[in-house]
Amino acid sequence: MGSLFRSEEMTLCQLFLQSEAAYACVSELGELGLVQFRDLNPDVNAFQRKFVNEVRRCDEMERKLRYLEKEIKKDGIPMLDTGESPEAPQPREMIDLEATFEKLENELREVNQNAEALKRNFLELTELKHILRKTQVFFDEQEGGLNHTTESMTRALITDEVRTGASMGPVQLGFVAGVILREKLPAFERMLWRACRGNVFLRQAMIESPLEDPTNGDQVYKSVFIIFFQGDQLKSRVKKICEGFRATLYPCPEAPADRREMAMGVMTRIEDLNTVLGQTQDHRHRVLVAAAKNLKNWFVKVRKIKAIYHTLNLFNLDVTQKCLIAECWVPLLDIETIQLALRRGTERSGSSVPPILNRMQTFENPPTYNRTNKFTKAFQALIDAYGVANYREMNPAPYTIITFPFLFAIMFGDLGHGAIMALFGLWMIRKEKGLAAQKTDNEIWNIFFGGRYIIFLMGVFSMYTGMIYNDIFSKSLNIFGSHWHLSYNKSTVMDNKELQLNPGTSDYEGTPYPFGMDPIWQIAGANKIIFHNAYKMKISIIFGVIHMTFGVIMSWHNHTYFRNRLSLVYEFIPQLLFLLLLFSYMVLLMFIKWNRYAATNPMPYSESCAPSILITFIDMVLFNKPKDPPEGCKVYMFSGQGFFQSLFVLLAICCIPVMLLGKPIKIMQARKLANEEVQPITGATSDAEVGGVSNGSASHGGGGDQHDEEEISEIFIHQGIHTIEYVLGSVSHTASYLRLWALSLAHAQLADVLWTMVLSTGLKQEGWLGGIMLTIVFAFWAILTIGILVLMEGLSAFLHTLRLHWVEFQSKFYMGQGYAFQPFAFDAIIENGSASSGEAD
């Protein structure tokens, strides 16, 4: 099979590069993205490698670019992103880039420092302007007739002198003025009162407009205060309190003329500062706009340089110090493409010595590489989430493209809900270029967008199963005309909720509806659910057994590809027989029952004679004698059924010891024979070779069982666990597929509840009031339909489908114990770097 069904064939290569050409060659390989390098210096510290200085220089350049990016985003300047990826610069261009970034950073830091100093000066002048204005109001109030307040304040401040008998003369009060954060003002006032024992007088006024903090750019609200006091002791105490509350004090002249003269000087300086600040901001903006045009490209260039030197640190130097040696995994089909890229790199560097790429022989397991495109990528991601496939193991992803949306649709079958999901997926597919260019950090949206093709297929398949169920928003479509002719009138149908459909009467034409369910089942309130349950339960088991059987057959492809005869004979054949003889036979009984028994058939194949498939299967496994059927009916569906059932069960039971003991006994015999011939099994010999067959293409051990170093007891235990798991799992996994029936029933009933209890209430209203009511009810119904039935039920069905594939299907053949191929690719490095940068911001 091709690479679509198995991972790519990989080979380990040794690469010899001349030191002068190594940078250019690795750059070309990074653009190609098809080479995974191995670390040949695992014991060497990261700080002791050859190119550690170059990596540090790149880290420093990245730091400067992140600083520029932060400043650009702070100003809201758009960054030009052409979507193009420039080539990695030559090593000599690093000096120019470093000089450019150094110049930009220094210039921007200097501008920011100057702007901060100017803003701090502007803040101080603005606060002083408000102090001069507010204090002028205070002094004007004193001169305008509020002298009694001053007199009472003076009396309070000189109370102590009166008590000591000192003569009252002219009292000179001192004052300080300043600004303080508004939220600190109440605590500041209480502290002044307590510390000064009420011997100070405080006046305050709010500054209406917010002021900008020059340190962080935040808007803060402040208040102006003036404090009157008497004596140097109080003055010292007041200043200490102001310092403790980080209040800013400013000089305020006592004379009105001096205050007016200072205010005029302050206004002039503020106007000059505004002009200088504007020029500074314009210069800063010009610097950032120029940097924003190239910032994305600079990031790409620096990350490419850094990635190249990181990769070169994985290489070894030869004894002459003139040649770099690397080891790498490459896809076998791409060796010529890689050699062409190496030649291009050599030509770019001007080297005359061509690179050498040699294939190496190894018994190490290669990485797993599955080629994907934008369509298959999401399905491959579902498989890899369970576990990366072993090397050259069968890849379930191509089959999952069909089985995953189909099993989902069995649970989600509704023409209306499927159409909503399909349209949403189709919209994302049609707009994928524009949506992908947005590069949002919303994780939920990225999950939806990444799975757009899965969503579209799930919607399309759900529309198909919705047509089979004849279910659209819990109602049916009568496209071909019902094949039932009932003599009921409208009142009988509307008033009688227990109507039943009986195919044994003349109401039924005797021919089925051309496609899907007959719409007449909508009015069969009594036996509608019984009929649907019987149908959906059986198709769940049928598709489940087919799915599991297909998984077992997939294991045959693995065993034959890896030439593992022991597993083919002692695992695949008994497993397939066990599944077919028991569960496929049960499926066969369902088809026989559908074909032979009908309500219109005469005895012994009438509806009343139809046996229960479940009871028949239980009696078969337990070797129970069937119960006597009703009069006129037969015990078995076909002649010889009892004999074949006993034979099938006995053969299935015989398969169990073959699965349990066959392979360990053969390995034990082969080891005993090898020891007698004095030919010990080497580490390069697989169990397939022990069985007498060369392992061939499985030389890497990708999918073959490796028990060479295990003890016989461990092999028996290991095989016993797998046998018990398969036998019991066949029963539990078959029952697990009943979730298809259960979720389908739940989805249909929820849709019916929403229609009956929500939308139908709006449809029953009449007149203009009914139109308004219907609009409101329809909006509510649409929200519940999309939120519950499409999103929540869709997520539930998705998770159940995922479980059926991971556990019931893939457990039959898929090991999932490999490791992914992670090539050195610039695209992945830049994408991850951008994501990390966004998270850091």
- Residue percentage of the chain with pLDDT more than 90: 56
CA distance readout (Å), 527 to 515, 522, 611: 21, 10, 19
Q: Is the pLDDT of residue 506 over 90?
A: no
Cβ neighbors of 674 (< 8 A, separation 6 or more) are 680, 681, 690
The segment with the largest mean pLDDT, out of 112-121, 398-407, 588-597, is: 398-407
Predicted pLDDT of residue 610: 87
Task: Indicate whether 62 pLDDT > 50.
Answer: yes
Strand partners, 211: 220
Of 84-98, 518-532, 567-581, 812-826, the poorest mean pLDDT is in: 518-532
> Which pLDDT band, with edges at 50, 70 and 90, does 692 fall under?
very low
pLDDT at 263: 87
Report which of residues 55 and 137 the model is more confident about: 55
Left, alpha or beta for 536 (phi > 0: left; psi -120 to 50: alpha)?
alpha
**Res. 631: pLDDT tops 90:** no
- For residue 523, is pLDDT > 80? no
HEC sequence for 244-263: HCCCEEECCCCCHHHHHHHH
pLDDT confidence tier of residue 162, bands split at 50, 70 and 90:
very low
Q: Does pLDDT of 668 surpass 60?
A: yes
Better-predicted residue by pLDDT, 165 or 305: 305
Q: List the structure tokens of 721.
A: 């666990």
730 Cα distance to chain centroid: 33
Lowest mean pLDDT among 27-36, 587-596, 708-717: 708-717
Per-residue pLDDT at 634: 87
Q: Tell me which long-range contacts 508-513 makes (C-beta under 8 A, separation of at least 24).
A: 508/483, 508/484, 508/600, 509/483, 509/484, 509/485, 510/600, 511/483, 512/483, 513/470, 513/480, 513/482, 513/483
Mean pLDDT of 318-323: 79
Across 165-174, 467-476, 552-561, 680-689, least confident range: 680-689
Residue with token string 């030197």: 309
| pLDDT band, residue 492 (cuts 50/70/90) | confident
pLDDT at 360: 92
Residue 127, number of CB atoms within 10 A of its CB = 19
Cα–Cα distance for residue pair 762/112, rounded to 1 Å:
63
Confidence of residue 527 (pLDDT cuts 50, 70, 90): confident
Across 790-805, average pLDDT = 96
Q: Which of 318-322, 465-469, 631-635 has the lowest mean pLDDT?
A: 318-322
Query: Which residue ranges does the chain devote to CATH 3.30.70.2750?
Result: 132-156+172-274
Contact (CB, 8 A) for 629 and 611:
yes
Of these ranges, 44-58, 545-559, 748-762, the one predicted with the greatest mean pLDDT is: 545-559
Q: Residue 171 has what pLDDT?
A: 54
Which tens digits make up the pLDDT trace of 201-253?
888 888 888 888 888 778 899 999 988 888 888 889 899 999 999 999 998 88
CB-based burial label for 810 (10 Å; 0-12, 13-18, 19+): buried
Which residues are within 8 A (CB) of 708 and not within 5 positions of it... i.e. 6 or more apart?
681, 683, 685, 686, 687
- C-alpha–C-alpha distance, residues 51 and 305, integer Å: 11
pLDDT above 70: percentage of residues in the chain: 90
Return mean pLDDT, the chain: 87
Least confident of 108-112, 688-692, 729-733: 688-692
Instruction: Give the model's pLDDT for residue 562.
Output: 93
Under the banding of pLDDT at 50, 70 and 90, the label for residue 140 is confident
Helix, strand, coil % in the chain, rounded to nearest 5: 65, 10, 30
* Cβ contact 311:824 at 8 Å: yes
Q: Is the dihedral of CA 458, 463, 464, 469 positive or negative?
A: positive
Which of 86-90, 330-334, 784-788 has the least mean pLDDT?
Answer: 86-90
Please give the span between the terminal C-alpha atoms of the chain, in angstroms, as a whole number: 47
Q: What is the pLDDT of residue 524?
A: 79
110 pLDDT band (50/70/90 cuts)?
very high
Judged by DSSP in three states, 185 sits in helix
DSSP letter for each residue of 43-101: TS-GGGSTTHHHHHHHHHHHHHHHHHHHHHHHTTPPPP--S--PPPPPTTHHHHHHHHH
Query: Higher model confidence: residue 510 or residue 817?
Result: 817
Nearest to residue 202, comparing CAs of 246, 241, 258? 241
Burial class (CB in 10 A: 0-12, 13-18, 19+), 205: middle
- Between 832 and 405, the more confident residue is 405
Per-residue pLDDT at 160 exceeds 90:
no
**Sheet order of strands, 248-250 included:** 201-206, 222-229, 174-181, 248-250
pLDDT at 511: 86
**Of residues 501 and 562, which shows the higher confidence score?**
562
Higher pLDDT, 527 or 5: 5
pLDDT at 144 over 60: no
Task: Tell which wins on pLDDT, 501 or 724.
Answer: 724
Per CATH, the number for 132-156+172-274 is 3.30.70.2750
What separation in angstroms does the CA of 297 have from each of 49, 71, 83, 293?
28, 17, 9, 9
pTM of the model: 0.81
Of the given ranges (28-32, 698-702, 727-731), which has the lowest mean pLDDT? Answer: 698-702
At 352 the pLDDT is: 82
354-374 per-position pLDDT tens digit: 899 999 998 899 999 999 999
pLDDT mean over 132-137 = 83
Decide: helix, strand or coil at residue 387: coil
What pLDDT, on the 0 to 100 scale, is given for residue 833? 67
Buried b (16+ CB within 10 A) or exposed e, 45-58: eeeebbbeebbebb
